[in-house]
Amino acid sequence: MEIIKTAKDMQAHAEKTRMQGKTIVFVPTMGFLHEGHLSLLREGSRHGDHLVLSIFVNPTQFAAGEDFESYPRDFEKDAAAAQKEGVDVIFAPEKANLYDDDFETYVSLEKLPNHLCGLSRPTHFRGVATIVTKLFNIVKPHAAVFGEKDYQQLAIIRRMTRDLNFDIRIIGVPIVREPDGLAMSSRNTYLAPEQRQAALSLYRSLSEAQNMVKTGETRATRLIEEARRTISAFPENSIDYVTVCDPDTLEDVALIDRPVLMALAVRVGKCRLIDNMVLHPAG
């Protein structure tokens, strides 16, 4: 496994790999790897013969006051896990290598960011779309793998890839959960034991909504009310949003007569958690 630190070296490596006729599959992450990331690597290795993992905590997707500085990092542990999964290259640049002091070019979408997480994190998806564009230009992948855990991010990357004609296949991977249902996240490490119990209410409320829909509930407002009740039963929880929306446009949906996305974001103590589920109506 090779560790590459600069964009220039990564581009040269990608070019050489392509010349050898190999298919590059790319898994971008911010590191502190868990089973969710590993499932992306495993899925990725089925779609090509050269697996590149990036580890980069991207400053432009964090707003002032968010957890950029304190975001958990453990490169040695990540490298060992990556090697075990058969990663060929870890691309791990320094911030200064990707962002010059006079950096001023951003990629932003018109509509998809105006929902869900974009409402409370108005500059987040501009940062995500920009870094993913840069990484696509540096890693030159044939395919790239993203988790459905960050549903809106995946939707934005699919749209951006289509709109900007990136010749890259985007592969989505289902959410990997702890045995008790909590969606795996690098940020779960922030949770104290009682907060972890409170955090279980995210998955519980999604599962309850799925049951309600299966047994004939068609009103989004009822699902949202119930989820809010389940989550608010824990004093350490503070709801950012609970939304039922169209899985493609992310526009709110009132009547559930087709599959819909239920998505939520909750602050548990200082830790902001997100989760989602596509709900399928009865029949």
Show which residues are catalytic.
Answer: 37
Q: What is the DSSP letter of 174?
A: P
Q: Which of 54, 27, 23 is nearest to 39 (CA)?
A: 27
> Within 13 A of 189's CA, how many CA atoms are on the CB side?
11
From residue 40 to residue 59, what is the string marking binding to ligand AMP with x (rule CB under 6 A)?
A: x-------------------
184 touches ligand AMP by CB under 6 A: yes
How many chain residues bind ligand AMP (CB under 6 A)? Answer: 17
150 touches ligand AMP by CB under 6 A: yes
Q: Which stretch binds ligand AMP (CB under 6 A): 8-16, 172-180, 210-218, 243-251?
A: 172-180
- Chain-centre distance of CA 186, in angstroms? 11
- Chain-centre distance of CA 117, in angstroms? 11
What torsion do the CA atoms of 131, 60, 54, 161 make, to the nearest 10 degrees? -20
CB of 116 to ligand AMP, least distance (A): 14
93 touches ligand AMP by CB under 6 A: no
In the set 115, 124, 149, 272, which binds ligand AMP (CB under 6 A)?
149
Which 3 state secondary structure label does DSSP give 41? helix
Q: CB nearest ligand AMP: which residue?
A: 147
CB of 276 to ligand AMP, least distance (A): 11
CB of 271 to ligand AMP, least distance (A): 13
From residue 23 to residue 42, what is the string marking binding to ligand AMP with x (rule CB under 6 A)?
A: ------xx-----xx-xx--
* Gap between the Cα atoms of 193 and 205, Å rounded: 20
CA dist 204 to 144, 174, 209, 224, 229, Å? 31, 17, 9, 13, 11
* Gap between the Cα atoms of 234 and 199, Å rounded: 9
DSSP secondary structure of 123-135:
THHHHHHHHHHHH
CB of 43 to ligand AMP, least distance (A): 10
Q: Which is nearer to ligand AMP, 173 or 260 (CB)?
A: 173
Q: Which stretch binds ligand AMP (CB under 6 A): 17-25, 96-104, 119-127, 144-152?
A: 144-152
* Gap between the Cα atoms of 171 and 43, Å rounded: 9
In the set 183, 231, 265, 271, which binds ligand AMP (CB under 6 A)?
183
- Chain-centre distance of CA 54, in angstroms? 14
Q: Which is nearer to ligand AMP, 8 or 162 (CB)?
A: 162
* Gap between the Cα atoms of 54 and 144, Å rounded: 11
CB of 269 to ligand AMP, least distance (A): 19
Q: Which is nearer to ligand AMP, 156 or 227 (CB)?
A: 156
Report the interface residues with ligand AMP, using CB under 6 A. 29-30, 36-37, 39-40, 146-147, 149-150, 173, 175-176, 183-186
